[in-house]
Copies of this chain bind each other. A is one copy, B any other.
Amino acid sequence: MAKSKSVTIADVARLAEVSMGTVSRVVNRDPTVRPVTRKAVMAAVDRLGYRPNFNARNLRLRQTQTIGLLMGNLTQALVPLAIRGIERALRPHGYALIISDGASDEDVEQEALSTLLDRRVDGILWMPHIRRSAAEARVTPGAPPVVFFGQASPSESVPTAMVEESAALEEMARDLLALGHTELSYIGVGPAAHGRLRRLHPILNELGMACPPNRQLLLSRDEDTYEAVARLLHADPRPTALLFGPHGLVPSALRAIRDAGLQLPRDLSLVAFGETDWAEVLNPSLSVIGVDYLTHAQDAAGMLLRHIDGDDDAPRVIRHRSEYIRRESAGPAPALQA
């Protein structure tokens, strides 16, 4: 490691012929320094190209001005937007963002959390891949504030930014019902899929739609999508409507559908979680349940910041709505057409 001996506050003090304390005061805009000395110090700062060492400062102050982003699965389309949103919330407060990937693996996610903790981040924004209860168990007293985000239900113990999906889900269900669909298959990935299915169930029931357990697909890996969907399409009777977990599964699913010789929406209707620019230009265009992840992540970061500041009035739950956007991929159920 190249330890470039950077210029320190002592160097500046020496050159400006003042004490280190004074330099510190100048750098931190303490108003009690005389303009003259301020000028002198500034001159020395410029001359030496001095940059305060954030880490030394933070050691002294016992904080890091850094928040950690822990993504259970970093390879998701929403990530760039989420990061941008978070940065937007953080920048005005001078916080930096350190990012950690759980790689959809329980052990890695655990280790990623440890990394963040070791570095003494001031707070953590966490979109867990592991089971929620497991995640909750990890946030212990003594640890820095944690905020879950991207969740579909509030957590008892951890402040949560959640995406309210029931309304959109119900709207979708009504729409599909009106189109003659009497059941729906959900295809999701990871532990979160279970929860979503659990929430979907009563909504469908309420409307008199079926949600047959044997026609739901709870995958553990994205890669299994093609095969699993292909298999599902050979069931008898064939499902008429499919709902996909994150939309990242959709391309594989579309290939499976095409390879099975089926056409959307004639033979099958399809809806996916997550809006994307591609949805509208697909042929047929893709119906989605959309979420503004930039705002979501930004607000989650804002909430975390308030908790870090020890603001006891900071909300423990915030909700963002999602929205059903009907496009061409949802159409009349095949039976009706016959």
Contact = CB atoms under 8 A, between A and B. Distances in A.
Interface of A: 1-4, 6, 49, 51-56, 58-59, 61-64, 66, 74-77, 79-81, 83-84, 87, 96-101, 103, 115, 117-120, 122, 142, 144-145, 248, 250-252, 254-255, 258, 276-278, 280-283, 308-310
B84 A80 contact: no
Nearest to A3: B62
A96 B101 CA distance: 11
Contact of A281 (B75, B118, B144, B254): B254
A49 B98 contact: no
Contacts of A281: 250-251, 254-255, 258, 282
A167 to B, nearest CB: 27
Q: When A and B form their complex, which 5 residue pairs have the shortest distance between CB atoms, in order from nearest?
A: A283-B283, A251-B277, A3-B62, A254-B281, A278-B278
A60 to B, nearest CB: 10
A243 to B, nearest CB: 18
Given A2-B145, A49-B142, A96-B115, A75 B64 contact: no
Given A53-B120, A142-B4, A255 B278 contact: no
Given A1-B63, A99-B97, A145-B2, A55 B282 contact: no
A57 to B, nearest CB: 9
Given A6-B142, A74-B84, 4 more contacts: A54-B120, A75-B81, A79-B79, A79-B80
A118 B280 contact: no
B119 A96 contact: yes
A27 B118 CA distance: 13
Given A98-B96, A99-B98, A119 B282 contact: no
A75 B66 contact: no
Nearest to A310: B2
